[in-house]
Each structure stands twice: as structure tokens, then as C-alpha cells.
Amino acid sequence: MEKFSLEAIAREQAKRAAGASSGRSAKTVYGGHEHALRQTVVALTAGSSLDEHESPGEATIQVLRGRVRLTAGQVAWEGRDGDFLVVPQARHALQAVEAAVVLLTVSKPA
């Protein structure tokens, strides 16, 4: 069994994002490319984003802190502390409306 403090990881990634020219930082806390399931803590400074991309499988975003906007085409959803967003199976992007940290969960098809 493994145990992680998402709060501690969120603090560390937010600090790294603040010092990064991209305004982003991420750490995979479970899984990876060799697993079907991957969970990654992603920190974004206000105004930074993950540009539009395809999802490699089913995905969700749990907002740990801050506020984000998930867009797919002309449709947008906003999430804030504690919100859970289901990522659409379409090209999408994620923008930090204010500094934010999210837990991104992706399950790739077998």
C-alpha cells in the first residue's frame, strides 16, 4: 500500500508552477505510461493553460484549489475547490482562471 498527501504535493507543485516560465508544473502520483490508470497533480498559475489536445482515454479533473475553465469547442465548464469535472471525449483545453491545482485522472483503453 502507498499513501500520499495530495495537499503536500499540491503545495509543492503550486510553488514550482509559480517559478516556471510556462506557469505549469505536474507530478504523476499514481500509474504512468505502463498502466491503464494515471493520476497526476497539475498546478497552473492564473492565466496559464494546457492547450487544446486529445484525451488518451476517459478522464476526470478534481479541483483541489483555485478555479479552472475546461473548454471543448464552444462549450465551457468552470470548476472551483472541490468540484469534479468529467473531461469530454473531444479536443479540449484547461485554463486557470485563478491559480489552481487539480488532480487529473486518465484511464486509457485496454
Which three-class secondary structure string do you get for the chain?
Answer: CCCCCHHHHHHHHHHHHHHCCCCEEEEEEEECCCCCEEEEEEEECCCCEEEEECCCCEEEEEEEEEEEEEEECCEEEEEECCCEEEECCCCEEEEEEEEEEEEEEEECCC
pLDDT digits (tens, 9 = 90+) for 2-18: 898 999 999 999 999 99
Q: What pLDDT does residue 54 have?
A: 87
Q: What percent of the chain has pLDDT over 70?
A: 99
CATH of 6-107, one of 2.60.120.10, 3.30.565.10, 2.60.40.10, 2.60.40.290: 2.60.120.10
